[in-house]
Amino acid sequence: MKAYRAALLRFDPAADPRQAAVYEADGLLVLGPDASGAEVVHDVGAWAALAPRYPGLAVEHLPGRLIAPGFIDMHVHFPQLNVIGSPADGLLPWLENHTFPEEQRFESPAYSAAEAEFFLDELLRHGVTTALAFATSHPASVQALFAAAQQREMRLITGLCLMDRHAPAALLNRAGPAGTDATEQSLIDSENLLQQWQGVGRLGYAITPRFAPTCSAAQLRGAGELAARYPQAWIQSHVAENHDEIAWARSLFPQSRSYLSTYDDFGLMRDRAVYAHCIHFDAEDRALMHATGAAAALCPTSNLFLGSGFFDYASAEQAGFRYGLASDVGGGTSLSPFHTMLGAYVVGRDGRGKAGLSLTPQHLWWQHTAGAAQALGLDGRSGRPAVGNLLPGCEADFVLLNTQATPLLARRTARAANLDELLFALIVLGDDRVVERTVIARSARARPVGPR
């Protein structure tokens, strides 16, 4: 076993997410292997109460530091890191002028492998220990990302991007060597990749229609059939991000009640289905999210950058569907969870077309950790250890944060009168400089964890 002494942040799963944080100014985190050899939280609590239970255990003392659960990014695009910060007039021009040309490069296994290394290192540098990520329509991109994540023992979910129409020819799914058409081959490739990677170590497969307009009815139907055969897999896509996209989807699938309903009509809404954005919903859409168990990945910096709109937190809470935070890089402007949490606060406060509200710092942090784990079905419900928290039995992913990383941050956190002030100072003033170390749970055979 190994142990760390520092300030500690974790979340009470039975509490209201707005005030669910449990904080120890002087805490002890004890890690050890579970029955399978995976590293999990063995014990956690106040130093004074726990230390006598572990005489002789070596403890790494980290004064002035905060240990918190590793962050979870519910929606990020692996092939878009190189187009972050590209100017555009909106979502569709941004895709056409910046994103699609870059994604074509990922046909190359060598290019995909090099980009996967950088992408995952950047996630870890920002304190992200679990991610639900888009790859491209090229199987090489999926193989490269899984392989790089497996080497790091990260918890990562990804899958082949399904798109058989309405995109550049170089990005559409390809026909097979045995004469299978592109749509059929994309489903064969998806199933082969799913069987190869789902459940291997800490990896998971996501059936990934890019979004309804770039998928034929046959491809969406096949994706739904695949989802029915593999209920342990995830589903990910986009929905209701901006008005032009919605109009396009509605023109292509007029038989569906709404853009969101299109996915339901093809069997793509269930537990472990995650839809990015979910901005322009009506009451029936929100009820459908709740009834099917689907979850929303909220992408505030992307929505602000592209002028897409503002997620309606109050209506989501009333409907009772699950959600969590996501960077949506490269439409999003940073991989930093601190920037994402600040963006979510701004989106919540905005009153255009809805009632504004002030999200509590604890709730913002919960959305990027324990809440995101709940939305992904990684909160222990599956019988496997949970992520996104530091309770006994949780996978031992955490970040070591320096609350004095910059002069202004040090000045502000020193004056924090309570936990909310401390967390909010980090949200507003924090960035990658705050993340001093990112620690990934290791299996018994893995090398020790060191500084990032």
What pLDDT score does 412 carry?
98
271-285 confidence digits (pLDDT tens): 999 999 999 999 999
Contacts of 127 (CB under 8 A, 6+ apart): 70, 71, 337, 399, 401, 432, 434, 435, 438
What pLDDT score does 450 carry?
35
**Average pLDDT of 387-391?**
97
Interatomic CA distance for residues 399 and 84, integer angstroms = 24
Residue 374 φ then ψ, to 5°: -60, -45
What pLDDT score does 448 carry?
36
Side-chain-side CA neighbours of residue 105 (13 Å):
17
**Average pLDDT of 200-206?**
96
**Average pLDDT of 346-374?**
91
Q: Is the pLDDT of residue 119 over 90?
A: yes
What pLDDT score does 446 carry?
39
**Contact 424/362 with Cβ under 8 angstroms?**
no
317-344 confidence digits (pLDDT tens): 999 999 999 999 999 999 999 999 999 9
What pLDDT score does 351 carry?
65
DSSP code at position 448: P
What pLDDT score does 93 carry?
85
Find the DSSP H helices in 182-282: 182-197, 217-229, 243-252, 259-265
124-170 confidence digits (pLDDT tens): 999 999 999 999 999 999 999 999 999 999 999 999 999 999 999 99
What pLDDT score does 88 carry?
79
What pLDDT score does 21 carry?
98
Find the DSSP H helices in 9-131: 47-50, 91-94, 100-103, 109-125
Radius of gyration from C-alpha coordinates of the chain: 21
Q: What percent of the chain has pLDDT over 70?
A: 98
- What is the pTM assigned to this prediction? 0.96
Residue 171 φ then ψ, to 5°: -105, -10
pLDDT band at 95, cuts 50/70/90?
A: confident
Interatomic CA distance for residues 217 and 240, integer angstroms = 18
Choose the weakest-confidence range: 93-107, 129-143, 360-374: 93-107
Amino acid sitting at position 144: A
Q: Is the pLDDT of residue 441 over 90?
A: yes
Comparing CA positions, the residue from 292, 288, 274 lying closest to residue 236 is: 274
- Give the position of tokens 């989106």: 347
DSSP code at position 395: B
40-56 confidence digits (pLDDT tens): 999 999 999 999 999 99
**Domains of the chain, first to last:** 2-69+388-439 (2.30.40.10), 71-356 (3.20.20.140)
pLDDT band at 443, cuts 50/70/90?
A: confident
What pLDDT score does 355 carry?
72
Interatomic CA distance for residues 322 and 324, integer angstroms = 7
Interatomic CA distance for residues 117 and 151, integer angstroms = 10
Residue 231 φ then ψ, to 5°: -65, -15
- Give the position of tokens 């490069």: 105
Q: Is the pLDDT of residue 434 over 60?
A: yes
What pLDDT score does 429 carry?
98
Choose the weakest-confidence range: 64-78, 188-202, 430-444: 430-444
CA angle 144, 140, 205 (to 5 degrees): 65
Is residue 48 classed exposed, middle or buried when 0-12, 13-18 and 19+ CB atoms within 10 A define those classes? exposed
Interatomic CA distance for residues 61 and 190, integer angstroms = 46
**Contact 154/202 with Cβ under 8 angstroms?**
yes
Amino acid sitting at position 221: R
Interatomic CA distance for residues 329 and 50, integer angstroms = 41
Q: Residue 84 is encoded by which pair of tokens? A: 């972050």
Residue 398 φ then ψ, to 5°: -155, 165
Average pLDDT, the chain: 94
What pLDDT score does 449 carry?
36
**Contact 148/112 with Cβ under 8 angstroms?**
no
**Average pLDDT of 197-210?**
97
What pLDDT score does 385 carry?
84
